[in-house]
Amino acid sequence: MSASASHHAVGASAATPASVPSRRRWLRNGTVALAAACGFVSLSSYAADTVKIGLVTALSGQSARAGEALTRGMTIAIDEINASGGVLGGRKLELVRRDDEGNPAKGVLAARELIYKDKVAVLFGGLDTPVSMAIVPIANQEKVPFMGPWAAGTPITHNGANPNYVFRVSAVDEIVDGAMVNYAQQTFGAKKLGLILVNNPWGESNEKGIVAALAAKGMKPAAIEKFEATDVDVTPQLGRLKAAGADTLLMVGNVGPSAQVVKSLDRMGWKVPIVSHWGPAGGRFTELAGPNAKTVHFVQTYSFFGATTPVSQRVVAALKAKYPDIKGPDDITPAVGVANAYDAMRLTALAIDRAGSTNGDAIRTGFYKIDRYEGLIKTYVKPFSEQQHDALSAHDYVWAQFIDNRIVPVSPTGAKVAAK
């Protein structure tokens, strides 16, 4: 029997006027006996309640691997936090997940259920910008902090709300877009950039950012082409980009459609460098794209390869201990899902402690009170403010490619292969 159920049962029983004072004394003085009789764990039942953290993400379909990466990053962080005493003086964190299947309508239903039924203190989500954009108004309306560990659409955090309850530890399109242009020029000597973008709000966000980044350099795209998420052949669009003289392609799309771009290029026999947003990292890209998956260079916020830190050593050890399929850095994929979610969860726990409660507005201001946190991706110093809800900048990006089925930082050799 729960504390609330027990209280309801006592309050619902019939009472005579003479019995009321004695009941009050019993309720005041007999708590210990009642707790023992009902098997209560603690006198302060409310302090013992878990603080629920919701996650809305793709747990099935082509991007399920990325959804699992977010889950694992959050879980390792929650395990650490709970082992060190939890939050708010001893309350444990509890992760509650819902599958959005990459569908905005399902994402909204999942978010509503987590907010209204599960009473989550903070909502995390998700992989897809259209899903996140659909959830943003709900989070702001219901005053529930919404933390983004993946979706990069600029308007997710730049949503115009005041106060704004949406935060992010992830890439941001308008910053990635400038980085993609710079990388294409520096790595491949690109002079005429062709854009191949998914036809949805994420594609629109990046089209705006890339065009602006090119304009700042006095340039324009060679051509802009769109594809649908369900397209299985994009040779017509690629043919137009080739005819426009594109010498490098900037690509924005999730796993499936990005793989179709690579396969369509194979059919055409057109070997052109591809600089991509991080969509290909979200799932079975090498399986779907074939051998030329390795020619795609894409942005990441973190890699488990290279120099280690005490935090990365601890996280890798915890992942290996908890998940039998992880033997080393090769198996932590996509790394950005794990790393972004881990740091986002640790920062969220700090915000809850700074808030001193699970009140949504207090947690929102709690994010602004974080002074310093030594994270996995970097050491965060005042990562959030009223004006800045994105914790990562262009300085936190790395470029990667698939070698076999592993996401590894691009080597000079890899750049040469992609350029051929």
Q: For 380-408, how does the pLDDT look when each residue is reduced to its tens digit (9 = 90+)? A: 999 999 999 999 998 899 999 988 878 88
Domain identity same for 350 and 258: no
- pLDDT above 50 for 3: no
Burial class (CB in 10 A: 0-12, 13-18, 19+), 241: buried
Distance CA(251)–CA(297), nearest Å, equals: 10
Structural domains in the chain (count): 2
What is the reported pLDDT for 371?
A: 97
What is the reported pLDDT for 83?
A: 98
- pLDDT above 50 for 288: yes
Domain identity same for 252 and 114: no
In our burial notation (b when 16+ CB lie closer than 10 A, e otherwise), range 372-409 reads ebebbbbebeebbeeeebbbbeeebbbbbbbbeebbbe
Distance CA(191)–CA(37), nearest Å, equals: 77
Distance CA(379)–CA(384), nearest Å, equals: 13
How high does pLDDT run on average in the chain? 87
Alpha helices by DSSP H, 273-309: 285-289
Contact at 8 Å (CB) between 125 and 132? yes
Alpha helices by DSSP H, 13-128: 19-29, 31-38, 45-48, 64-83, 104-112
What does the pLDDT look like over 326-338, one tens digit per residue? Answer: 999 888 988 999 9
Give mean pLDDT, residues 153-158: 94
- pLDDT above 80 for 12: no
For residue 145, which of 122, 117, 164 has the smallest C-alpha distance? Answer: 122
- If you search the block for the tokens 């390869």, which residue do you land on? 305
The band of 45, judged by pLDDT with boundaries at 50, 70 and 90, is very low
The band of 177, judged by pLDDT with boundaries at 50, 70 and 90, is very high
What is the reported pLDDT for 131?
A: 95
Q: Maximum distance among all alpha carbons in the chain?
A: 93
- pLDDT above 50 for 64: yes
Residue 22 located in a structural domain? no
Residue 88 located in a structural domain? yes
Partners of 197 in the beta sheet? Answer: 226, 252
The C-alpha angle 180, 184, 188, rounded to 5 degrees, equals 160
Q: Which residues contact 283 (CB under 8 A, 6 or more apart)?
A: 62, 63, 64, 65, 66, 254, 255
Domain identity same for 128 and 263: no
Domain identity same for 90 and 102: yes
- pLDDT above 60 for 1: no
- If you search the block for the tokens 């520096």, which residue do you land on? 186
For residue 100, which of 111, 88, 86 has the smallest C-alpha distance? Answer: 111
Contact at 8 Å (CB) between 325 and 308? no
Residue 14 located in a structural domain? no
What is the reported pLDDT for 19?
A: 40
- If you search the block for the tokens 């990046």, which residue do you land on? 206
Residue 24 located in a structural domain? no
Structural domain boundaries, residue 80? 51-171+305-389
Query: For residue 142, what are its two tokens?
Result: 């219901």
- pLDDT above 80 for 7: no
Residue 181 located in a structural domain? yes
Percent of the chain scored above 70 by pLDDT?
A: 86
- pLDDT above 90 for 340: yes
Domain identity same for 286 and 405: yes
What is the reported pLDDT for 415?
A: 54
The angle, 0 to 180 degrees and rounded to 10, between the axes of the packed helices 173-188 and 412-419 is: 80
Q: Which residues contact 46 (CB under 8 A, 6 or more apart)?
A: 3
Question: What's the CATH number where 110 sits?
Answer: 3.40.50.2300
**Alpha-carbon torsion 319, 323, 327, 331, what sign?**
negative
Contact at 8 Å (CB) between 115 and 123? yes
Percent of the chain scored above 90 by pLDDT?
A: 70
Residue 13 located in a structural domain? no
